[in-house]
Structure 1
Amino acid sequence: MPPAVGDVSRLEQQRISVQRPSLSPPQGSRLSIPSAQAIDQRRDELFRELADEFAAFDRLGSLVRKVSQLVKPSVIHIEAHKSETKGGSFESYDEAGSGVVVQTEDGLWVMTNRHVINGSQPAEILLRTADGREFHPTRILADPSTDVAVMDVPQLHVPPARTGNSDLVNIGDFTIAIGSPFGLSHSVTFGILSAKGRRDLSLGDQKIDLQDFFQTDAAINPGNSGGPLLNLRGEVIGLNTAIASSSGGSEGIGFAIPINMAIRVADELIRHGRLRRGYLGVTLDPDFGPADLGAIRTEAQGGALVKGVRRGSPAALANLQRGDIIVQFNGNDVDNDDHLVAQVGLTPIGSRVPMIIYRDGKRYRTEVELSDAN
């Protein structure tokens, strides 16, 4: 006969009570407490495990140390004495920055940002090496459109930094910055490359026309300007230039000029005394974006819309027309109007450059020979 309801309830309670573990030790039993020897053995095991894991991690730290030791002698601390009149009052002050020695076809030059030394005469600029020697430049060449400057220092005998190919740098690559943050010379910080192609930055009162910045979270502070941004091969991949900050200090957003761009400008300054900017002769629509590509969006990720073509310009000779969308310039995809402006401006004068455009939804290829914008 099946049990009564009340009997079933009691049976279930009995099962439950059997399944519940007792929290009290059995009478006469002892809790197992590890001995001091067992604890020491376990700690030793953990230390060995940490040592094995640290050995792998420390290889990265070793790279950073080696890069720092290798490149520090090529980094220059800069102090520029400046004076200006503001609101009718005369002000005189010193500004600290950084520079890096690079090898050019014309010898060794100290590369830095124009804003670091702008307004100072050569005798007002003090250059200090990592071993404490001090010099003044004999000649200064600078370009306001890119914020790049170079200084000639004939008696400066230090090894030049090795430059890398900034076109091969990828987001997420490790980066090292060396400079003089807040005047603390030859300081080293470490991070990654956060982004590429930053071209719409507003940098205070200074207008930089040709922008193509790297973004990094390696700590960059006032005084780092002009110093090198490096990869883990010890190669310079950028020239630290600016920070985005609400406090005036590092907030993990720093910007550097790609070294390919900086070297191109430096060579122009040394050879011709100025940057000879390429001239195409078009007016572009700054409001044009990927969403405006329409039917060609499946074939192009970006582009620059031509609003007008100047008569007799290289663009006119290449038969460009209003409404054309330039999607590729010199083999490089065009992201937007600022990207095209930067590419054109840094292309050697007289070069015949291939372009791909879309006109009325159809793809065309043409060539343009750039002239001097100046």
Structure 2
Amino acid sequence: KKLPQKRRAARMEAILKDPENRNGVKLTKKLEVFLPTGEARTGYPAVIKAYTPPIDPDRLPKDGSKPEPPMWDAAIIKVDAKDLPTVRLAPSVARAVTLGQQLVIVGYPGVVVWHDFLSKKSRVEATVTFGRISAFRLDVNERYIIQTDAPISWGNSGGPAFNLRGEVVALATFISTSLEGDETIQGFNFLIPVDSIHALAKNIGLTPSTDSAFTREWDRAVEALVEGRLQEAIVHAEAADKIVPGLIDVRRAIVRMRMLAGEKP
């Protein structure tokens, strides 16, 4: 979370006046996770519980052995909050996807988030892109990764890739650029498999779970909607909205369901 411009400028000025830090100024890092709740944005304190470095060919051991720690380009963050929205992790890539299968990728591409023609208020809204699995390849860790033609960009990193069953099968991780590295080439992007997330979780004794009060209500709302039980769907969606208030997609879904039911939104 960035400091306001004036406070940031004042701190930088103080640092420049005292480069040797005779006054003993201490710098601390603070990690917060924000949810897309429009104007009512709330930052939840968070800590990094597990981390592996990004993929970097320059870090490969000269003897041909595997790097340690492995370059899985993934982290597990513990958020200081309960009953937040959750997603289901597929048990493994081998059991969840096949070549040519459709994928849905959700994230925050920088080209959209920082677009000069878009309002800052819409930055918290995710971008959804679609594509297919183009190939299964090995990265420099000799680990299988997924190649996809789904559009992603800088800022998408860490965003989930879903199969059509709603399971997370991979995370967006790196893109393709021109030989000079100054131009993005779309259609050839790469995802780290969910297997790496399971391995990272196992290393810290964590068993991923999707159980939360919000997710239970939201799943019931979706199930009722699909089966045509609109009033029941509205009840469960509104219950989910009370647990984690203001999520943009939830509010939109409620308005849409009320319109379908003939109610005033």
So what's the TM-score if we normalise by structure 2?
A: 0.49
Higher relative contact order (CA 8 A, sep 6+): 2
Report the structure, 1 or 2, having the larger helix content: 2
So what's the TM-score if we normalise by structure 1?
A: 0.36
Larger of the two Rg values belongs to structure? 1
